Chain A
Amino acid sequence: MASDNAIEARGLSKQFGQLVAVDKVDLTVSRAQIYGFLGPNGSGKSTTIRMLCGLLMPSAGDIQVLGLAIPQQAEQLKRRIGYMTQKFSLYEDLSVQENLEFLAAVHDLPRAAARQRIDHLLQRYWLAERRKQLAGTLSGGQKQRLALAGAVLHEPELLFLDEPTSAVDPQSRREFWDSLFELTDAGTTILVSTHYMDEAERCHRLAILDQGRLVADGAPRELCAQLPYAVWLVDCAAPRRAQQALQGEAGVVGLAQIGAELRVLAAREAWHADSLARHLAQRGVPAEVRRGEANLEDVFVAATRKPLRSAPAATGAAA
Chain B
Amino acid sequence: MNLRRLFSIVLKELRQLRRDRLTFGMIVGIPTMQLLLFGFAINLDVRHLDAAVLDQANTARSREFVAEIAASQVVTLREQLSSPQQLDESMRQGKISVGIVIPADFDNRLERGDRAPLQLVVDGSDQVVQQAARQLAAYPLARLRSADAVPPAAMEIVNFYNPERRAPVNTVPGLVGVILTMTMVMFTAMALVRERERGNLEMLIATPVSPWELTLGKVLPFIGIGLVQVSLVLALGKLIFAVPLRGSLLQIYLAALLFILASAALGVFLSTLARSQFQAMQMAFFTFLPQILLSGFMFPYAGMPRAAQWLSEILPMTHFLRLIRGIALRGASLADLWPEMAALAAFSAVVLSIAVMRVSKRLD
The residues of A with any CB-CB pair to B shorter than 8 Å are 50, 53-57, 71, 74-75, 78-79, 81, 83, 85, 87-94, 98, 101-103, 105-108, 134, 150
CA distance A90 to B15 in the complex (A): 14
Instruction: Say which residue of A57, A88, A106 sits within 8 Å of B364 (CB atoms).
Output: A57
- Asked if B15 and A92 sit within 8 Å, CB to CB, the answer is no
Is B2 on the interface with A (CB-CB < 8 A)?
yes
CA distance A57 to B360 in the complex (A): 12
CA distance A277 to B202 in the complex (A): 55
- Asked if B2 and A108 sit within 8 Å, CB to CB, the answer is yes
Chain A residues with Cβ below 8 Å from B364 are 56-57
Chain A residues with Cβ below 8 Å from B199 are 85, 87-89
- Asked if A107 and B12 sit within 8 Å, CB to CB, the answer is no
What are the 10 tightest A-B residue pairs by CB atom distance, in nearest-first order?
A105-B8, A89-B203, A83-B206, A89-B199, A87-B199, A93-B19, A106-B207, A102-B12, A79-B208, A55-B363
- Asked if B200 and A107 sit within 8 Å, CB to CB, the answer is no
Is B143 on the interface with A (CB-CB < 8 A)?
no
Distance in Å from the Cβ of A215 to the closest Cβ of chain B? 25
Distance in Å from the Cβ of A254 to the closest Cβ of chain B? 36
CA distance A149 to B103 in the complex (A): 90
Give the A-B pair count, Cβ closer than 8 A: 74
Distance in Å from the Cβ of A16 to the closest Cβ of chain B? 8
Is B337 on the interface with A (CB-CB < 8 A)?
no
Is B205 on the interface with A (CB-CB < 8 A)?
yes
- Asked if B208 and A57 sit within 8 Å, CB to CB, the answer is no
CB-nearest residue of chain A to B17: A93
Chain B residues with Cβ below 8 Å from A89 are 198-200, 202-203
- Asked if A106 and B15 sit within 8 Å, CB to CB, the answer is no
Known: A55-B362, A106-B204. 18 other contacts (CB 8 A): A55-B202, A55-B206, A57-B362, A57-B364, A71-B362, A79-B208, A85-B203, A90-B200, A91-B12, A93-B19, A94-B16, A98-B12, A102-B12, A103-B207, A106-B9, A106-B208, A108-B4, A108-B208
Q: Describe A's contact surface by its main secondary structure.
A: loop
Q: Describe B's contact surface by its main secondary structure.
A: helix
Instruction: Say which residue of B8, B9, B203, B205 sits within 8 Å of A90 (CB atoms).
Output: B203
Instruction: Say which residue of A92, A93, A94, A107 sits within 8 Å of B207 (CB atoms).
Output: A107
Of the listed residues B9, B12, B198, B203, the one surrounded by the most CB atoms of chain A closer than 10 A to its CB is: B203
Chain B residues with Cβ below 8 Å from A74 are 361
CA distance A158 to B355 in the complex (A): 32
Chain B residues with Cβ below 8 Å from A81 are 206
CB-nearest residue of chain A to B202: A85
The residues of B with any CB-CB pair to A shorter than 8 Å are 2, 4-5, 7-9, 11-12, 15-16, 19-20, 198-200, 202-209, 361-364
Distance in Å from the Cβ of A73 to the closest Cβ of chain B? 13
Instruction: Say which residue of A56, A92, A93, A108 sits within 8 Å of B5 (CB atoms).
Output: A108
- Asked if A78 and B12 sit within 8 Å, CB to CB, the answer is no
CA distance A90 to B202 in the complex (A): 10
CA distance A94 to B9 in the complex (A): 12
CA distance A52 to B362 in the complex (A): 12
Distance in Å from the Cβ of B20 to the closest Cβ of chain A? 7
A-B contact pairs, 24 of them (CB 8 A): A55-B202, A55-B205, A55-B206, A56-B364, A71-B362, A74-B361, A75-B361, A81-B206, A87-B199, A89-B198, A89-B199, A89-B200, A90-B203, A93-B19, A94-B16, A101-B8, A102-B11, A105-B4, A105-B5, A106-B207, A106-B209, A107-B207, A107-B208, A150-B203
CB-nearest residue of chain A to B213: A106
CA distance A23 to B171 in the complex (A): 63
CB-nearest residue of chain B to A134: B19
Distance in Å from the Cβ of A134 to the closest Cβ of chain B? 8
Distance in Å from the Cβ of A203 to the closest Cβ of chain B? 22
CA distance A91 to B207 in the complex (A): 15
CB-nearest residue of chain B to A103: B207
Chain A residues with Cβ below 8 Å from B7 are 105
CA distance A160 to B59 in the complex (A): 97
Distance in Å from the Cβ of A155 to the closest Cβ of chain B? 14
CB-nearest residue of chain A to B16: A93
Distance in Å from the Cβ of B76 to the closest Cβ of chain A? 52
Distance in Å from the Cβ of B84 to the closest Cβ of chain A? 69
- Asked if B208 and A75 sit within 8 Å, CB to CB, the answer is yes
- Asked if A93 and B20 sit within 8 Å, CB to CB, the answer is yes
A106-B5, A106-B8 in contact; A53/B208 too (CB < 8 A)?
Answer: no
Chain B residues with Cβ below 8 Å from A85 are 199, 202-203
CA distance A134 to B361 in the complex (A): 27
CA distance A91 to B203 in the complex (A): 10
Chain A residues with Cβ below 8 Å from B362 are 54-57, 71
CA distance A101 to B12 in the complex (A): 10
CA distance A87 to B202 in the complex (A): 10
CA distance A90 to B199 in the complex (A): 8
Chain A residues with Cβ below 8 Å from B12 are 91, 94, 98, 102
Instruction: Say which residue of B20, B207, B363 sits within 8 Å of A56 (CB atoms).
Output: B363
Chain A residues with Cβ below 8 Å from B204 are 106
Distance in Å from the Cβ of B205 to the closest Cβ of chain A? 6
CA distance A85 to B208 in the complex (A): 16
Chain A residues with Cβ below 8 Å from B11 are 102
CA distance A57 to B12 in the complex (A): 30
Distance in Å from the Cβ of A49 to the closest Cβ of chain B? 10
Instruction: Say which residue of A50, A79, A93 sits within 8 Å of B363 (CB atoms).
Output: A50
Chain A residues with Cβ below 8 Å from B202 are 55, 85, 89
CB-nearest residue of chain B to A99: B12
Chain B residues with Cβ below 8 Å from A78 are 206-208
Distance in Å from the Cβ of B199 to the closest Cβ of chain A? 5
Instruction: Say which residue of A54, A75, A98, A150 sits within 8 Å of B15 (CB atoms).
Output: A98
